[in-house]
Each structure stands twice: as structure tokens, then as C-alpha cells.
């Protein structure tokens, strides 16, 4: 069974975020707007690239340890996935869980979420799938816990927590501790490592990541009637060791102006639009952050090369 709901109806969140980001310098827009249907498809291609280690490493951890993770989650869970992404990950987890009651994928992209939810519902006819269109980086209202569910558990794979600044990550984890009260959160976290390996992961040889980055401009032109010259922006990604994060930018190749909803913005040559952070953590550093948010860090699983980690965080009971 599948249900579809909106946590709130925003007139055009992409327009609001892009206009706000362009009006201030340095210019920036949140990475959640990468993920329309095309952006999600491009990211799936990134996940298959030889340079991009996070997805295959996390999948390997799920394949090896899904039963242990399921034991932490417990039977009859109400499972909430923040940012419905790779179906392979959620399928591995669902296959290991004992009698899950409901699956609630949450995402800002209605089109992508609809396809994701329908595919999962078709393959799990006994499972209630209640897709929720919402921005989980802000306050939202969770659907009531089903009567037959023992507790609510979150699943946040892919190291998407790294897209938040540490302050934003703390805020998200605090909200999650409230949403998941009495349950817990299973979360993927990318680890600090050799900067050369990180550079390759975000600057692939065939240019899929660059296309993914520029898709933000493609969306703006298509959905907002903007006039970005997509070819006049360069993909630029680098590792900042002080911030322990990858930064991704779109850099203007020349002096140019862009119009959105009749408002014009001037870009100087070399000026950038900051499109993504991808923060990296140590295991101890992330566990400290989780404790500060009110969780109790418990089990953690890492690959042998210490590239990636998956954490089980117990949420407070009250």
C-alpha cells in the first residue's frame, strides 16, 4: 500500500533559495536543489564511478552488517528515510528487518519521491509506504506513529549529513532526536582521509559530477525562466583541510549577467556560486556531535580502509 503526502506546500522553494543566495556575497545555494529527476539520475551515475568510493563502501557495510543493524533497530519498526536515495541501500535494510510496519521516505523532490515510493511499494506489498514531500533540513511534522509500530527509526545513508555545516548538522540531529524519540537513527558518515582521494571523488575523469553540479543552472532555466549560460560556468571542487570538507562551486568563466524573475545579477569573471559542502568526520568527532544533539552513540561499522562509517544512535526516550 502506498500513500503520498506533503508536509507543507511551498510556492517555489528553488526560486526562493536561489534568489536569496544570489542577492548576497559570497553567493551560495543549498545542495538539496540538485535533486530533481535529472539530478537524481546523474547522482546515480556518480555513485557507479570508480573514483566515487562512498556509495560502494556504504553498500558493502550494509551487505556485511545489515543483520546487526536490524538487531539495533528491532522488530515492528516505523522506518523513516531522510532523503530517499539509492534504492539498493533501503532494500538491503528492509530485507534484514523483522516485520517493518511502515516505510516513510522523505524528500523535497516530489517527482523523484513518487517514483522511489512506487517501486518500493510494488516489491513490498505487505508494507505500508507513506511518501512525504518535505524539507527535512527544517522543522516538519511527522505522520502519527502506527498503532502496531513499536518505535520510529530514522535511516540517513549516503553521508548526506556532510552537506550541512557542523552547526546545521547539530540542528538537524537535535530535531531528529525529537522526531525519533524512543527509537534511533542509522546514519552514514564519510570519514576524513587522504585529500587526493577526496579530490578524485568529486572531480571524476568523465565529468559526470560537473554535469550534476551544472544541473542546478539547468533547473533554474527550465523551472524559473532564468537565462544562465550553463556553458559559461566551470565546475570547481576542492578539499579545505581546515574545515575538513569538500567545497563545490560553479565559477563564472567570464563577466556576465543572469536574470531571474526580472531581477538581474552580475557575475564577474572568476566569481563563484557555492553549491555544496561535504563535511568529513572522524568517528570520535561525529559521536561527540551526536551526543551534543541528545543521541547516545552505540554501534559503529567501518570498512577496513576507514573510508566510511555507519553509526547507530539511540534517541532519548523522552
Same domain, 167 and 288: yes
In whole angstroms, give the CA distance from residue 176 to residue 170.
10
Task: Based on the fold, state whether residues 156 and 231 are members of the same structural domain.
Answer: no
pLDDT in tens, 120-133: 888 888 899 998 98
Q: What is the model's pLDDT at position 5?
A: 61
Residue 292 lies in a domain: yes
Q: Is residue 256 part of a domain?
A: yes
Residue carrying C-alpha cell 524559473: 224
pLDDT of residue 111: 76
Cβ distance 113 to 139 under 8 Å? Answer: no
Angle between helices 283-292 and 166-179 (to 10 degrees): 60
* 2 within a domain of the structure (yes/no): no
- Is the domain of 213 the same as that of 95? no
38 domain residue, yes or no: no
In a domain, 41, yes or no: no
- Find the mean pLDDT for residues 152-171: 96
End-to-end CA, the chain: 31
pLDDT tens sequence across 243-255: 999 999 999 999 9
Same domain (yes/no): 215, 187: no
Q: What is the mean pLDDT of residues 169-188?
A: 97
**pTM score of the predicted model:** 0.92
Phi, psi of 56 (to 5 degrees): -65, -30
Pick the range with the lowest mean pLDDT from 2-6, 179-183, 296-300: 2-6
Predicted local distance difference test score (pLDDT) of residue 252: 98
Number of domains the chain contains:
2
User: Per the domain annotation, does 40 fall within a domain?
Assistant: no
pLDDT at 10: 44
Same domain, 207 and 275: yes
Q: Are residues 94 and 78 in the same domain?
A: yes
| 137 and 215 fall within a common domain | no
SS3 for 129?
strand
Same domain as 183, residue 207: no
What is the CA angle 88-81-182, rounded to 5? 130
pLDDT bin (cut points 50, 70, 90) of residue 9 is very low
Q: Cell numbers 510496519 label which residue?
A: 101
* Residue 1 in domain: no
161 and 82 housed in the same domain: yes
Q: Is the pLDDT of residue 1 over 70?
A: no
Let me know whether 89 and 213 are in one domain: no
pLDDT score of 6 more than 70: no
83: in domain: yes
Residues of the chain with pLDDT > 70, as a percent, come to 96
Domain extent, residue 135, equals: 53-193+282-314
Q: Are 105 and 247 contained in the same domain? A: no
106 with 60, same domain: the answer is yes
pLDDT at 7: 55
Amino acid at each position: 500500500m502506498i500513500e503520498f503526502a506533503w508536509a507543507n506546500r511551498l510556492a517555489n522553494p528553488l526560486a526562493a533559495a536561489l534568489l536569496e543566495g544570489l542577492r548576497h556575497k559570497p553567493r551560495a545555494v543549498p545542495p538539496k536543489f540538485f535533486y530533481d529527476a535529472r539530478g537524481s539520475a546523474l547522482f546515480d551515475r556518480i555513485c557507479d564511478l570508480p573514483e566515487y568510493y562512498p556509495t560502494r563502501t556504504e553498500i558493502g557495510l550494509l551487505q556485511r552488517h545489515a543483520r546487526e543493524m536490524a538487531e539495533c533497530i528491532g522488530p515492528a519498526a516505523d522506518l523513516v528515510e531522510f532523503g530517499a536515495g539509492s534504492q539498493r541501500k533501503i532494500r538491503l535494510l528492509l530485507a534484514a528487518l523483522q516485520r517493518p510496519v511502515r516505510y516513510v521516505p522523505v524528500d523535497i523532490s516530489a517527482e523523484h519521491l513518487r517514483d522511489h515510493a512506487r517501486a518500493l511499494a510494488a516489491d513490498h506489498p505487505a508494507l505500508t509506504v507513506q511518501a512525504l514531500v518535505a524539507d527535512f533540513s527544517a522543522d516538519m511534522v511527522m505522520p502519527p506513529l502506527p498503532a502496531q509500530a513499536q518505535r520510529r527509526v530514522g535511516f540517513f545513508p549516503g553521508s548526506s549529513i556532510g552537506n550541512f555545516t557542523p552547526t546545521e548538522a547539530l540542528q538537524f540531529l537535535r530535531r531528529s532526536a525529537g522526531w525519533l524519540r524512543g527509537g534511533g537513527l542509522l546514519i552514514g558518515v564519510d570519514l576524513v582521509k587522504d585529500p587526493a582521494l577526496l579530490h578524485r571523488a568529486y572531480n571524476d575523469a568523465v565529468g559526470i559530477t560537473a554535469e550534476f553540479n551544472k544541473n542546478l543552472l539547468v533547473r533554474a532555466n527550465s523551472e524559473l525562466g532564468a537565462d544562465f549560460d550553463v556553458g559559461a560556468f566551470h565546475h570547481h571542487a576542492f578539499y579545505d583541510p581546515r574545515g575538513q570538507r569538500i567545497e563545490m562551486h560553479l565559477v563564472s568563466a567570464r563577466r556576465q549577467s543572469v536574470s531571474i524573475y526580472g531581477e538581474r545579477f552580475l557575475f564577474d569573471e572568476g566569481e563563484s556560486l557555492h553549491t555544496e559542502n561535504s563535511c568529513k568526520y572522524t568517528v570520535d568527532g561525529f559521536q561527540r556531535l551526536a551526543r551534543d544533539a541528545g543521541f547516545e552513540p552505540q554501534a559503529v561499522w567501518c570498512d577496513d580502509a576507514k573510508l566510511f562509517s555507519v553509526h547507530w544512535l539511540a534517541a532519548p526516550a523522552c
